[in-house]
Amino acid sequence: MSGHSKWSTIKHKKAKEDAKRGQVFTKLIREITMAAKEGGGDPTGNARLRVVLDKAKAANMPQDNITRAIKKGTGELEGISYEAASYEGYGPSGVAVIIETLSDNKQRTVADLRHIFTKMGGNLGESGVVAWMFAHKGVVKFNSKKMSQDDILEQLIEYPIDDVVVHDDIASVYCDIKDLDVVKKAILGLGFGVEDASFDWVPNNPVKLDSEDKEAKVYKFLETLEDLDDVQHVFVNLS
């Protein structure tokens, strides 16, 4: 299983740029609020909250923003009620797409998504239409320090990992969702600085497009989806 793709590299770099501009704060606040609502405000016992708090800190989000978002999730402060939902479909060139959203108006979200799919050559489908092509995995990304895939794999061989992929000096380690914390701590213990840890939909059999023009259209489609306020994450089965 190898879920790495050029899109994951583009998305990773774009997220770092967005964080510098502060544009990522709104989505992180929604995700913190939802994680606290579903699993409580104590990150010790809430794996999802731990993951998103690490992202918030990496984006230099002020602690006051984080605290308010948690309190809104636990009901200690009033706030907008968000609902989590996933959508599936086929984008340009038939690529499979899974979109995770947090929204206070699902009708608006669906209408926005359908508009983008239709306008850009895709088709928003029913639940389950493409999910069978993906596996839900924990993914940890870090700077490989010029180490090869085999060298990193050798150092992590004793830990519960499924795969290691290195591309453009970014190493991606894949594991079972329940093992994300263990794997992240192992990587930190080896002296690497973790850039991102997340729960991703990883394609079982990534596909490759046969032209740069098709790639460009698909990436534009994916970026347009990610720019929607209600969209938290976009996953695609590209190699």
Q: Does residue 91 belong to any structural domain of this protein?
A: yes
Amino acid 60: pLDDT: 87
| 238 DSSP assignment | B
* Total-model pTM: 0.86
Instruction: Judge if 62 and 108 occupy the same domain.
Output: no
Mean pLDDT for each consecutive 10-residue tract of the chain (239 residues)? Answer: 60 62 80 95 94 90 94 91 95 97 95 97 95 96 91 94 89 94 94 91 92 93 93 92
Instruction: Judge if 58 and 68 occupy the same domain.
Output: yes
Amino acid 1: pLDDT: 44
Q: Does residue 1 belong to any structural domain of this protein?
A: no
Instruction: Judge if 125 and 154 occupy the same domain.
Output: no
Amino acid 59: pLDDT: 85
Amino acid 18: pLDDT: 62
Which of 74, 96, 124 is the last residue in one of the domains?
74
Amino acid 234: pLDDT: 94
Amino acid 58: pLDDT: 85
Instruction: Judge if 52 and 164 occupy the same domain.
Output: no
Domain interval for residue 58:
6-74
Beta-carbon count within 10 A of 130 CB: 21
What is the number of domains present in the chain? 3
What are the respective helix, strand and coil percentages of the chain, to the nearest 5?
50, 25, 30
